[in-house]
C-alpha cells in the first residue's frame, strides 16, 4: 500500500461536506416529523412497555425488576387463559368468515347491475360509523325483546310462507329453464327474465296458499335467546362472544370488500377473454382466474383481518358493561383491565407483559398464515 492509496480514500464523512449535503439535510428535515412520531409513539413506547413487562410497577412506586415473573403469572391467571382462547377463536372465525363474505360481496358488486353505486355505498355504511355507536345500537338490538329476537320470532312463526315461496320459485324456475333448454335455447340457470317470472309466481302462489289457509303462520312463543347477559357457551365459545363476532364481521366486511373490489379492477381482462375462448364456465373463470389473481389482495385482507381481530378491544369493552367479564374478555381488553379495570393500583407489569405477548402472538400468527396459508404472490 503506497501513499497514493491513502490519499485516494475519501475523507471521513465526506458526504456531509459533499454536494449531497443539502439534499440529505432536506431529506432528514422532511422525515423528521415521521421519525419523531415513530420514535416516541412506537419505539419509545414499545421499549418502555418491554422493560415494564419485567418489572413490578404500579405507576407510582419505582419499578422493581422481577425477571419473567409477570409472564409466569400470566399463564397462571384464568382470565388470561380465557382471553387467549377467546382472542384466538375470535381471530380464526371472524377472519375466515369476513374474508369469504367480503369476496362474495365484491364479486356481486363487480357485476354490471343497476344501482351499483347505491349498493356499494349502502354496504359500506357500517364501516364508517363509530364502533362505539354501532356497539351501543348492537346492545339494544340484542335485548331479550330486541330486534334480533323479534326477527327470529317472525322467521319462526312465518316459516311456512318463506318455505312455500322458496319452493314455488325453485319449481317454477327449474320448469322454465328445462322448458327453454328443451326448445334448444341456451338458457342459464338464473336467467333474469325467467327469475322475475318465478319470483312473481312464487309471490302470488304464496299469497293464495295463505289466503285459502293452506299455509298458516305458527303461533310459537317468542324467541327468547339471551345474547349478551349470559355465561352460556355454544361450541365452547361464550354466546356473547359469538354476538360480538357477528357485529365485528358486519362492520369489517365492507372495508375488506373495498379491497377486493379494487383488486378485481386489476385482474387483466385478457385472462377472461382467453378463458372464454377456451369455453370456461362462470365458475371456472372465478376459480381459475379471479381467485388466483386476487391472492395478493386476499393476503392483505387476511393479514389485516388477523391483526385487527387479535387486537379487538372496543367491542369487548362496550359489551363488558352488559355481558359477564369472563364471557367477553379478549387479550387487548385483558391489558386494559389490568391497567385500569381490576381495582387497586394499576398492574402495569402484568398489563405490559400481556401487551408484549399479544404483539408477539400477532406476529407469529401472521407469519404462520403467510407460511402455510395464502401468500402474497398471485401465481
From start to end of the chain, where are the E strands?
Answer: 55-56, 64-65, 233-234, 237-238
DSSP annotation of 268: -
Q: Which is nearer to other proteins, 180 or 324 (CB)?
A: 324
Residue with cell 345474547: 227
Smallest gap from Cβ 310 to other proteins, in A, equals: 23
Smallest gap from Cβ 143 to other proteins, in A, equals: 4
> In the stretch 120-159, what mask flags binding to other proteins with x, by CB under 8 A?
-----------------------xxxx-------------
> In the stretch 288-327, what mask flags binding to other proteins with x, by CB under 8 A?
----------------------------------x-xxx-
Q: Which is nearer to other proteins, 73 or 370 (CB)?
A: 73
- Rounded Cα gap, residues 298 and 13, in angstroms: 46
Of 299, 281, 259, residue with least CA distance to 110:
259
Identify the residue among 128, 167, 190, 232 touching other proteins (CB under 8 A).
Answer: 232
| Contact predicate 147/141, CB 8 Å | yes
Residues 6 or more apart whose CB falls under 8 angstroms from that of 254 comprise: 102, 105, 123, 124, 125, 126, 127
Residues pairing with 237 in the sheet: 234
- Rounded Cα gap, residues 95 and 50, in angstroms: 28
SS3 22: helix
Residues 6 or more apart whose CB falls under 8 angstroms from that of 197 comprise: 172, 176
Q: Which is nearer to other proteins, 10 or 344 (CB)?
A: 344
Q: Which is nearer to other proteins, 178 or 345 (CB)?
A: 345
Q: Which is nearer to other proteins, 184 or 343 (CB)?
A: 343
Binding-site size for other proteins (CB under 8 A) equals 26
Q: Which is nearer to other proteins, 151 or 170 (CB)?
A: 151
List the interface residues with other proteins, window 336-375 (CB under 8 A).
340-346
Binding of residue 23 to other proteins (CB under 8 A):
no
Residue with cell 371456472: 284
Smallest gap from Cβ 145 to other proteins, in A, equals: 5
List the interface residues with other proteins, window 41-70 (CB under 8 A).
59-60
By the criterion CB under 8 A, which residues form the site for other proteins? Answer: 59-60, 73, 76-78, 143-146, 226, 229-232, 322, 324-326, 340-346
Amino acid at each position: 500500500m503506497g501513499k497514493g492509496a491513502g490519499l485516494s480514500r475519501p475523507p471521513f464523512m465526506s458526504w456531509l461536506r459533499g454536494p449531497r449535503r443539502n439534499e440529505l439535510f432536506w431529506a432528514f428535515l422532511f422525515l423528521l416529523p415521521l421519525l419523531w412520531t415513530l420514535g416516541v409513539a412506537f419505539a419509545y413506547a414499545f421499549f418502555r412497555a418491554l422493560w415494564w413487562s419485567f418489572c413490578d410497577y404500579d405507576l407510582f412506586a419505582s419499578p422493581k425488576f422481577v425477571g419473567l415473573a409477570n409472564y409466569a403469572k400470566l399463564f397462571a391467571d384464568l382470565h388470561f387463559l380465557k382471553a387467549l382462547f377467546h382472542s384466538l377463536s375470535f381471530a380464526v372465525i371472524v377472519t375466515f368468515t369476513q374474508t369469504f363474505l367480503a369476496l362474495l360481496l365484491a364479486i356481486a358488486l363487480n357485476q354490471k347491475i343497476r344501482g351499483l353505486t347505491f349498493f356499494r355505498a349502502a354496504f359500506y355504511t357500517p364501516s364508517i360509523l363509530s364502533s362505539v355507536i354501532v356497539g351501543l345500537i348492537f346492545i339494544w338490538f340484542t335485548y331479550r325483546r330486541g330486534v334480533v329476537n323479534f326477527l327470529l320470532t317472525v322467521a319462526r312463526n312465518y316459516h311456512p310462507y318463506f318455505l312455500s315461496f322458496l319452493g314455488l320459485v325453485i319449481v317454477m324456475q327449474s320448469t322454465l329453464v328445462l322448458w327453454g333448454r328443451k326448445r334448444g335455447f341456451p338458457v342459464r340457470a338464473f336467467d333474469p327474465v325467467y327469475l322475475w317470472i318465478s319470483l312473481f309466481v312464487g309471490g302470488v302462489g304464496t299469497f293464495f296458499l295463505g289466503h285459502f289457509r293452506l299455509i298458516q303462520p305458527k303461533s310459537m312463543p317468542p324467541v327468547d335467546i339471551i345474547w349478551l347477559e349470559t355465561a352460556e357457551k355454544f361450541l365452547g365459545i361464550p354466546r356473547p362472544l359469538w354476538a360480538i363476532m357477528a357485529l365485528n364481521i358486519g362492520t369489517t366486511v365492507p372495508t375488506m370488500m373495498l379491497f377486493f373490489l379494487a383488486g378485481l379492477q386489476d385482474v387483466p381482462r385478457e385472462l377472461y377473454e382467453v378463458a372464454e375462448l377456451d369455453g370456461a364456465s362462470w365458475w371456472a373463470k372465478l376459480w381459475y382466474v379471479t381467485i388466483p389473481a386476487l391472492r395478493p389482495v386476499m393476503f392483505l385482507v387476511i393479514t389485516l383481518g388477523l391483526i385487527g381481530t387479535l387486537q379487538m378491544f372496543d367491542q369487548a369493552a362496550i359489551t363488558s358493561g352488559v355481558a359477564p367479564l369472563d364471557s367477553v374478555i379478549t387479550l387487548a381488553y385483558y391489558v386494559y383491565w389490568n391497567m385500569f379495570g381490576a381495582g387497586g393500583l394499576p398492574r402495569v407489569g402484568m398489563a405490559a407483559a400481556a401487551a408484549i405477548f399479544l404483539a408477539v402472538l400477532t406476529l407469529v400468527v401472521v407469519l404462520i398464515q403467510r407460511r402455510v396459508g395464502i401468500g402474497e404472490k398471485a401465481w
